Amino acid sequence: MILRISILTLFAISFYVKGLSQTSNELIYSANDLYKKQEFEKAENAYDKIIEKDRYNTTAKFNLANTYFRRSKKDDAVKAFDFLTSDGQPSDLRERSYYNKGVVLSRQEKLEESIESYKNALRLNPSDTSARENLQKALFELKKKQPPPKKEEPKPKKQQDQKKQNQQQQKMNQKEAEQRLQMMEQKEKQVMQRMQNEKSKSSSNVVAKDW
Protein backbone atom coordinates (compact mmCIF):
# COMPACT_ATOMS: atom_id res chain seq x y z
CA MET A 1 0.00 0.00 0.00
CA ILE A 2 1.53 3.30 -1.08
CA LEU A 3 1.25 5.73 1.81
CA ARG A 4 1.06 9.37 0.84
CA ILE A 5 -0.19 11.01 3.99
CA SER A 6 1.64 14.30 3.68
CA ILE A 7 0.80 17.78 4.86
CA LEU A 8 0.01 20.65 2.57
CA THR A 9 2.24 23.67 2.60
CA LEU A 10 1.06 27.18 2.04
CA PHE A 11 2.86 27.36 -1.31
CA ALA A 12 1.26 24.15 -2.59
CA ILE A 13 -2.26 25.34 -1.91
CA SER A 14 -1.88 29.08 -2.24
CA PHE A 15 -4.77 29.20 -4.72
CA TYR A 16 -7.08 27.29 -2.36
CA VAL A 17 -7.05 29.77 0.48
CA LYS A 18 -6.95 33.46 -0.23
CA GLY A 19 -6.49 36.33 2.15
CA LEU A 20 -4.80 34.44 4.97
CA SER A 21 -3.46 36.79 7.58
CA GLN A 22 0.21 36.91 8.47
CA THR A 23 -0.69 35.36 11.82
CA SER A 24 -2.42 32.40 10.10
CA ASN A 25 0.59 31.87 7.84
CA GLU A 26 2.94 31.81 10.80
CA LEU A 27 0.72 29.38 12.69
CA ILE A 28 0.57 27.04 9.69
CA TYR A 29 4.37 27.06 9.36
CA SER A 30 4.72 26.41 13.08
CA ALA A 31 2.19 23.55 13.05
CA ASN A 32 3.81 22.02 9.98
CA ASP A 33 7.21 22.07 11.71
CA LEU A 34 5.72 20.18 14.65
CA TYR A 35 4.21 17.64 12.24
CA LYS A 36 7.54 17.12 10.46
CA LYS A 37 9.22 16.58 13.83
CA GLN A 38 6.55 13.92 14.50
CA GLU A 39 5.27 15.86 17.47
CA PHE A 40 1.77 15.00 16.39
CA GLU A 41 -0.09 15.85 19.58
CA LYS A 42 1.32 19.38 19.56
CA ALA A 43 0.68 19.66 15.84
CA GLU A 44 -2.96 18.66 16.36
CA ASN A 45 -3.41 21.37 18.98
CA ALA A 46 -1.76 23.92 16.69
CA TYR A 47 -4.04 23.08 13.73
CA ASP A 48 -7.07 23.22 16.03
CA LYS A 49 -6.14 26.76 17.10
CA ILE A 50 -5.85 27.84 13.46
CA ILE A 51 -9.27 26.41 12.63
CA GLU A 52 -10.80 28.14 15.67
CA LYS A 53 -9.64 31.46 14.21
CA ASP A 54 -10.29 30.57 10.55
CA ARG A 55 -12.83 27.77 10.13
CA TYR A 56 -12.50 27.93 6.33
CA ASN A 57 -8.77 27.20 6.40
CA THR A 58 -8.66 24.01 4.32
CA THR A 59 -4.87 23.78 4.70
CA ALA A 60 -5.20 23.37 8.45
CA LYS A 61 -8.17 20.99 8.06
CA PHE A 62 -6.30 18.75 5.61
CA ASN A 63 -3.16 18.67 7.77
CA LEU A 64 -5.25 18.07 10.88
CA ALA A 65 -6.86 15.05 9.19
CA ASN A 66 -3.40 13.66 8.46
CA THR A 67 -2.40 14.31 12.06
CA TYR A 68 -5.42 12.32 13.25
CA PHE A 69 -4.19 9.43 11.14
CA ARG A 70 -0.68 9.66 12.59
CA ARG A 71 -2.18 9.58 16.07
CA SER A 72 -4.25 6.49 15.20
CA LYS A 73 -7.48 8.48 15.32
CA LYS A 74 -8.59 6.89 12.09
CA ASP A 75 -12.32 7.53 12.48
CA ASP A 76 -11.66 11.23 13.08
CA ALA A 77 -9.37 11.28 10.05
CA VAL A 78 -12.07 9.76 7.82
CA LYS A 79 -14.62 12.33 9.00
CA ALA A 80 -12.20 15.18 8.34
CA PHE A 81 -11.43 13.91 4.84
CA ASP A 82 -15.16 13.54 4.18
CA PHE A 83 -15.58 17.27 4.69
CA LEU A 84 -12.66 18.02 2.35
CA THR A 85 -14.11 15.82 -0.42
CA SER A 86 -17.48 17.58 -0.38
CA ASP A 87 -18.75 19.50 -3.39
CA GLY A 88 -17.47 23.04 -3.63
CA GLN A 89 -13.93 22.19 -2.54
CA PRO A 90 -11.11 22.57 -5.11
CA SER A 91 -10.73 19.44 -7.24
CA ASP A 92 -7.05 18.98 -6.37
CA LEU A 93 -7.83 19.12 -2.66
CA ARG A 94 -10.73 16.68 -3.13
CA GLU A 95 -8.49 14.26 -5.04
CA ARG A 96 -5.80 14.34 -2.31
CA SER A 97 -8.44 13.88 0.36
CA TYR A 98 -10.06 10.92 -1.42
CA TYR A 99 -6.65 9.32 -1.77
CA ASN A 100 -5.71 9.79 1.89
CA LYS A 101 -9.15 8.63 2.98
CA GLY A 102 -8.59 5.47 0.95
CA VAL A 103 -5.29 4.88 2.76
CA VAL A 104 -6.94 5.28 6.16
CA LEU A 105 -9.81 2.94 5.24
CA SER A 106 -7.34 0.35 3.92
CA ARG A 107 -5.52 0.43 7.24
CA GLN A 108 -8.87 -0.17 8.92
CA GLU A 109 -9.40 -3.12 6.55
CA LYS A 110 -12.54 -1.47 5.19
CA LEU A 111 -11.57 -2.54 1.72
CA GLU A 112 -14.84 -1.90 -0.11
CA GLU A 113 -14.96 1.69 1.16
CA SER A 114 -11.28 2.27 0.41
CA ILE A 115 -11.80 0.97 -3.15
CA GLU A 116 -14.54 3.53 -3.67
CA SER A 117 -12.29 6.31 -2.33
CA TYR A 118 -9.47 5.38 -4.72
CA LYS A 119 -11.94 5.29 -7.60
CA ASN A 120 -13.14 8.78 -6.70
CA ALA A 121 -9.55 10.00 -6.58
CA LEU A 122 -8.93 8.57 -10.05
CA ARG A 123 -12.10 10.17 -11.41
CA LEU A 124 -10.64 13.53 -10.40
CA ASN A 125 -7.10 12.69 -11.48
CA PRO A 126 -6.85 9.69 -13.85
CA SER A 127 -3.05 10.06 -14.02
CA ASP A 128 -2.57 9.37 -10.29
CA THR A 129 -0.50 6.19 -10.49
CA SER A 130 -0.33 5.79 -6.71
CA ALA A 131 -4.12 5.76 -6.45
CA ARG A 132 -4.30 3.21 -9.26
CA GLU A 133 -1.75 0.93 -7.58
CA ASN A 134 -3.52 1.17 -4.23
CA LEU A 135 -6.84 0.44 -5.92
CA GLN A 136 -5.42 -2.73 -7.50
CA LYS A 137 -3.95 -3.86 -4.18
CA ALA A 138 -7.23 -3.23 -2.34
CA LEU A 139 -9.14 -5.21 -4.99
CA PHE A 140 -6.65 -8.06 -4.67
CA GLU A 141 -6.94 -8.09 -0.86
CA LEU A 142 -10.73 -8.06 -1.08
CA LYS A 143 -10.69 -11.01 -3.46
CA LYS A 144 -8.47 -12.97 -1.05
CA LYS A 145 -10.92 -12.37 1.79
CA GLN A 146 -13.89 -13.67 -0.17
CA PRO A 147 -14.36 -17.43 0.44
CA PRO A 148 -14.04 -19.66 -2.65
CA PRO A 149 -17.15 -21.51 -3.84
CA LYS A 150 -17.69 -24.74 -1.95
CA LYS A 151 -16.99 -27.94 -3.86
CA GLU A 152 -19.09 -31.01 -3.19
CA GLU A 153 -16.93 -33.52 -1.39
CA PRO A 154 -16.76 -36.96 -3.03
CA LYS A 155 -18.76 -39.54 -1.13
CA PRO A 156 -16.94 -42.57 0.28
CA LYS A 157 -16.93 -45.64 -1.98
CA LYS A 158 -18.85 -47.70 0.57
CA GLN A 159 -21.61 -45.09 0.67
CA GLN A 160 -21.73 -44.99 -3.14
CA ASP A 161 -21.97 -48.81 -3.33
CA GLN A 162 -24.78 -48.82 -0.76
CA LYS A 163 -26.66 -46.17 -2.73
CA LYS A 164 -26.26 -48.21 -5.91
CA GLN A 165 -27.43 -51.36 -4.16
CA ASN A 166 -30.50 -49.57 -2.80
CA GLN A 167 -31.35 -48.33 -6.27
CA GLN A 168 -31.04 -51.85 -7.71
CA GLN A 169 -33.16 -53.27 -4.88
CA GLN A 170 -35.78 -50.62 -5.53
CA LYS A 171 -35.89 -51.59 -9.21
CA MET A 172 -36.17 -55.30 -8.32
CA ASN A 173 -39.00 -54.64 -5.87
CA GLN A 174 -40.88 -52.68 -8.49
CA LYS A 175 -40.41 -55.42 -11.09
CA GLU A 176 -41.46 -58.09 -8.61
CA ALA A 177 -44.60 -56.13 -7.72
CA GLU A 178 -45.52 -55.86 -11.40
CA GLN A 179 -45.04 -59.63 -11.87
CA ARG A 180 -47.25 -60.43 -8.88
CA LEU A 181 -49.92 -58.10 -10.16
CA GLN A 182 -49.87 -59.84 -13.54
CA MET A 183 -50.15 -63.25 -11.85
CA MET A 184 -53.11 -62.08 -9.77
CA GLU A 185 -54.84 -60.74 -12.86
CA GLN A 186 -54.20 -64.04 -14.67
CA LYS A 187 -55.62 -66.08 -11.76
CA GLU A 188 -58.65 -63.82 -11.62
CA LYS A 189 -59.25 -64.41 -15.32
CA GLN A 190 -58.94 -68.19 -14.82
CA VAL A 191 -61.46 -68.14 -11.95
CA MET A 192 -63.90 -66.08 -13.97
CA GLN A 193 -63.52 -68.43 -16.92
CA ARG A 194 -64.11 -71.49 -14.75
CA MET A 195 -67.19 -69.97 -13.19
CA GLN A 196 -68.53 -69.14 -16.64
CA ASN A 197 -67.96 -72.70 -17.84
CA GLU A 198 -69.71 -74.18 -14.82
CA LYS A 199 -72.70 -71.90 -15.29
CA SER A 200 -73.01 -72.90 -18.93
CA LYS A 201 -72.81 -76.61 -18.06
CA SER A 202 -75.44 -76.27 -15.35
CA SER A 203 -77.86 -74.60 -17.79
CA SER A 204 -77.54 -77.38 -20.34
CA ASN A 205 -78.50 -80.11 -17.76
CA VAL A 206 -81.84 -78.53 -16.75
CA VAL A 207 -84.97 -80.52 -17.95
CA ALA A 208 -88.21 -78.70 -18.56
CA LYS A 209 -91.06 -79.82 -16.22
CA ASP A 210 -94.02 -81.43 -17.83
CA TRP A 211 -97.22 -80.29 -16.19
> pLDDT value at position 195?
72
Average pLDDT, the chain: 80
Q: How far apart are CA 168 and CA 185, in angstroms?
A: 26
Residue 52 pLDDT class (50, 70, 90 cuts): very high
Decide if 94 contacts 84 (C-beta within 8 A): yes
Higher pLDDT, 61 or 197: 61
pLDDT digit string, tens, across residues 87-107: 899 999 999 999 999 999 999
181 phi/psi in degrees, rounded to 5: -65, -40
Output the CA angle 55-58-61, nearest 5 degrees: 80
% of the chain surpassing 90 pLDDT: 52
Q: How far apart are CA 156 and CA 153, in angstroms?
A: 9
Q: Residue 210: helix, strand or coil by DSSP?
A: coil
Q: Comparing C-alpha atoms, which of 96, 75, 72 is closest to residue 84? A: 96
* pLDDT of 205 higher than 50: no
Higher pLDDT, 178 or 206: 178
> pLDDT value at position 209?
35
pLDDT digit string, tens, across residues 136-189: 999 999 998 887 767 766 656 666 667 677 776 666 567 776 777 787 777 777
Q: Where do runs of H (alpha helix) occur along the chain?
A: 22-36, 40-53, 58-70, 74-84, 91-107, 111-124, 129-145, 157-204
Residue 138: exposure state from Cβ atoms within 10 A (0-12, 13-18, ≥19):
buried
Full set of structural domains in the chain with CATH: 22-145 (1.25.40.10)
* pLDDT of 194 higher than 50: yes
Q: How far apart are CA 96 and CA 98, in angstroms?
A: 6
Average of pLDDT values for 33-43?
A: 94
* pLDDT of 79 higher than 80: yes
Average of pLDDT values for 63-81?
A: 95
Q: How far apart are CA 203 and CA 201, in angstroms?
A: 5
